[in-house]
Amino acid sequence: MQGLSSIGSQLIDLCSALLLLTCFAIVAQRRLSACVDLFALQSAVLFVTAALVAYLTKSHHIYIAAGLTGVIKVIVIPRVLKKVIDHLNVKRELVMHVNVPTGLLICGGLVMLAFFIAQPIIPLGPLLTRDSLAIALAIVLIGLFTMIARQQAVSQLVGFLVLENGLFLGATAATYGMPLVVELGVFFDVLIATLIAGIYTNRLQDAFNSVDTDQLTILKE
């Protein structure tokens, strides 16, 4: 049992590290469709992580959450986003508020910050998923940062979804999952948010012939 648990903990750490790595990849990637693919990959890793936690802690409701991650975040949402991208005329981030090397450096700083902040609470967490909490926080911060750094509505949406993945990891890691009702609610929210943002992006494309959200400032009086 001890052995299994330690291997499990190692595996979860590995998965968390992979999640973080995909985050960096998303920050470095300019092509929109590639960003979506990377998000799907990240969600797949998250699915594995959640399933592992569910298996190791024998809490069955996490299986459901993991399954939902698999269906919604790996299949449905990427497909919706791909459809949106097909509709666009600009399929790359042309101008970014923060260029890629600086962005990567900032993200590195954010990871350090996350570990620094999580330091005092890490020993209090469950044995199995100790380091995941700091990584979850780092993913949340990076997701938020992506939303700020990017100009295209689609990549902002990806940033939002990454942020949500971070929250999910945090919830699974820190407390072995939120109550199922909350989990279901969150999934529903994310799905709806994606759909709405997708429609909104299409409308934006039609109205401005671009999905650069900076253009929204001209709506001001």
* Residues forming the site for other proteins (CB under 8 A): 97, 113, 116-117, 119-120, 141, 144-145, 147-148, 151, 156, 213-214, 216-217, 219-220
Question: Closest distance between other proteins and the C-beta of residue 64, in Å?
Answer: 26
Question: Closest distance between other proteins and the C-beta of residue 213, in Å?
Answer: 5
User: CA angle at residue 194 from 192 to 198, to 5 degrees?
Assistant: 120
The owner of tokens 């299986």 is 63
Question: Closest distance between other proteins and the C-beta of residue 51, in Å?
Answer: 30
Q: Does residue 3 contact residue 33 with C-beta atoms inside 8 Å?
A: no
Contacts of 172 (CB under 8 A, 6+ apart): 49, 50, 53, 62, 65, 129, 132
Contacts of 142 (CB under 8 A, 6+ apart): 23, 24, 27, 107, 110, 111, 162, 166
Question: Closest distance between other proteins and the C-beta of residue 125, in Å?
Answer: 16
Q: Could you report how far apart the first and last alpha carbons of the chain are, in Å? A: 65
Compute the distance between CA of residue 61 and CA of residue 73 in angstroms, rounded to an integer.
Answer: 18
Which CB atom, from 18 or from 84, has the smaller least distance to other proteins? Answer: 84
Helix, strand, or coil (residue 211): coil
Which CB atom, from 116 or from 208, has the smaller least distance to other proteins? Answer: 116
Q: Does residue 32 contact residue 92 with C-beta atoms inside 8 Å?
A: yes
Compute the distance between CA of residue 219 and CA of residue 221 in angstroms, rounded to an integer.
Answer: 6
Which CB atom, from 51 or from 114, has the smaller least distance to other proteins? Answer: 114
Question: Closest distance between other proteins and the C-beta of residue 151, in Å?
Answer: 8
Which CB atom, from 81 or from 134, has the smaller least distance to other proteins? Answer: 134
Which CB atom, from 7 or from 216, has the smaller least distance to other proteins? Answer: 216
Question: Closest distance between other proteins and the C-beta of residue 77, in Å?
Answer: 20
Which CB atom, from 33 or from 213, has the smaller least distance to other proteins? Answer: 213
